[in-house]
A and B are shown apart, each in its own frame.
Chain A
Amino acid sequence: MQAFTVLTGIAAPMPQANIDTDKIIPARFLKSIERSGFGKNLFANYRYMPDGSENPDFVLNQEPYRKAEVLIAFENFGCGSSREHAPWALLDFGIRCVIAPDFADIFHNNSFKNGVLPVKLPRAVCEQLMEDSRMGENARITVDLEREVVVRPNGEEIPFKIDPLRRHLMLNGLDDIGQTMQHVSAIDSYEAKQRAAQPWLNR
Chain B
Amino acid sequence: MSGQKPRTLFDKIWDAHVVETLPDGTALLYIDLHLTHEVTTPQAYAGLRAAGRGVRRPDLTLAVVDHNIATDASRYTGIVDPESRLQVETLEKNVVEFGVPYIPLLSERQGIVHVIGPELGRSLPGMTIVCGDSHTATHGAMGALAFGIGTSEVEHVLATQTLLQKPAKNMRVWVEGTLPVGCSAKDITLAIIGKIGTAGGTGHVIEYAGDAIRGLDMAGRMTLCNMAIEGGARAGMVAPDEKTFEYVANTPDGPKGAALDAAIAYWKTLPSDEGAHFDKEVRLRAEEIAPQVTWGTSPEDVLPITASVPDPAEAPNEVRRAQMQRMLDYMGLEAGQKLQDVKVDVVFIGSCTNSRIEDMRAAAAIAKGRQVAPGVRALVVPGSGLVKKQAEAEGLDVVLREAGFEWREPSCSMCLGMNPDKLTPGQRCASTSNRNFEGRQGPGGRTHLVSPAMAAAAALAGHLADVREYQPKESV
Contacts and interface: CB of A to CB of B under 8 A. Distances in A.
A82 B323 contact: no
B134 A106 contact: yes
Contacts of A109: 149-150, 153
Contacts of B84: 31
Interface in B109-167: 124, 126-127, 132-134, 136, 148-153, 155-156, 159-162, 164, 166
Contacts, number: 183
A76 B198 contact: yes
B384 to A, nearest CB: 20
B198 A26 contact: no
Contact of B149 (A30, A106, A179, A202): A106
Contact of B150 (A28, A83, A187): A83
A83 to B, nearest CB: 7
B271 interface: no
A110 to B, nearest CB: 4
Contacts of B156: 176-177, 180
Contact of A84 (B40, B53, B159, B198): B40
Interface stretch (B16-24, B214-222, B236-244, B345-353): B16-24
Contacts of B416: 22, 27, 81
Interface residues of A, number: 57
Contact of B28 (A31, A81, A84, A183): A183
B159 A83 contact: no
A104 B298 CA distance: 14
Contacts of B319: 17, 74
Contact of B24 (A18, A32, A45, A165): A165
A32 B83 contact: yes
Interface residues of B, number: 75
A199 B261 CA distance: 12
Contacts of B398: none
Contact of A50 (B42, B150, B425): B425
Contacts of A124: none
A172 to B, nearest CB: 15
Interface string B46-78: 100001010010011000000110000000000
B437 A80 contact: yes
Interface stretch (B368-376, B387-395, B438-446, B462-470): B438-446
A146 B202 CA distance: 27
B255 A200 contact: yes
Contact of A106 (B30, B42, B150, B159): B150
Contact of A30 (B26, B166, B418): B418
A73 to B, nearest CB: 13
B262 A82 contact: no
B53 A177 contact: yes
A13 to B, nearest CB: 14
B59 A203 contact: yes
Contact of A33 (B46, B198, B199, B232): B46
B40 A82 contact: yes
A194 B20 contact: no
Given A34-B43, A76-B198, A104-B202, A82 B160 contact: no
B43 A104 contact: no
A20 interface: yes
B263 A177 contact: no
Given A33-B43, A45-B439, 5 more contacts: A18-B298, A31-B68, A50-B443, A200-B255, A203-B60
18 contacts: A18-B199, A27-B67, A28-B443, A31-B418, A102-B202, A104-B232, A105-B234, A106-B134, A165-B164, A177-B51, A180-B159, A180-B160, A180-B162, A183-B19, A183-B162, A187-B161, A198-B263, A200-B259
